[in-house]
Amino acid sequence: LAEMEDPCLSTQLIDGDGVFNVSGLESFMKEVKLAECGLSYAVVSIMGPQSSGKSTLLNHLFRTNFREMDAFRGRSQTTKGIWMAKAQNIEPCTLVMDLEGTDGRERGEDDTAFEKQSALFALAVSDIVLINMWCHDIGREQAANKPLLKTVFQTPLENLEPI
């Protein structure tokens, strides 16, 4: 008999306005039986430009079900806020966070506060942070999110330790 695969569960952890979804996280933790993992779990997150394929990459790597962009409808914001799902058939238990894309026109050119906050949040709670970027943007000042990455990597690590 083939092992039955659990359906992938996901929840919006933080909405596009920066509001933390406490009840959604609690029900997510119960559904994925996070308590049974004990301390044996990992958190992986991804950040990068809007419409660069972050959700698609996570879905293929971790068998999650994050909403993906429909290329036929044009490039537009798909992920709003921060979403979390449990990776399928990976040990130890792995939680995957999909962050809203950076450089999105929906937030406007000057609104980088949410981008910085979500990047720092991911850095604080993740074991691994994937940075997805177009190879032709490497070295460009704005296109490769250099200002955001500078903020993330210049943040003193003592500020990220749990209380």
Each residue of 107-147: pLDDT tens digit?
Answer: 555 467 788 888 889 989 999 999 888 777 776 666 656 66
Beta bridge partners, 11, equal 84
**Which pLDDT tens digit goes with each residue over 11-46?**
999 998 889 999 999 999 999 999 999 888 999 999
* Residue 162 falls inside a structural domain: no
In three-state secondary structure terms, 41 is strand
Strand ranges inside the chain, DSSP E = 10-14, 41-47, 82-86, 93-99, 128-131
Residue 2 has pLDDT above 50, yes or no: no
Measured CA angle at 127 (ends 126, 128), to 5 deg: 90
For residue 91, count other CB atoms closer than 10 A to its CB.
10
Q: What percent of the chain has pLDDT over 70?
A: 69
* Residue 68 falls inside a structural domain: yes
Q: Looking at residue 51, which CATH number applies to its domain? A: 3.40.50
**C-alpha span between 74 and 4 (Å, rounded):** 36
* Residue 2 falls inside a structural domain: no
Q: What integer pLDDT is reported at residue 46 of this predicted model? A: 94
* Residue 1 falls inside a structural domain: no
pTM: 0.78
Instruction: Say how many domains are in the chain.
Output: 1
With a CB cutoff of 8 Å and minimum separation 6, the contacts of 64 are 8, 10, 58, 85, 86, 87, 88, 96, 98
Q: What integer pLDDT is reported at residue 95 of this predicted model? A: 96
Mean pLDDT of the chain: 80
Domain ranges, residue 147? 10-155
* Residue 5 falls inside a structural domain: no
* Residue 4 falls inside a structural domain: no
Q: What percent of the chain has pLDDT over 90?
A: 37
**C-alpha span between 23 and 36 (Å, rounded):** 19
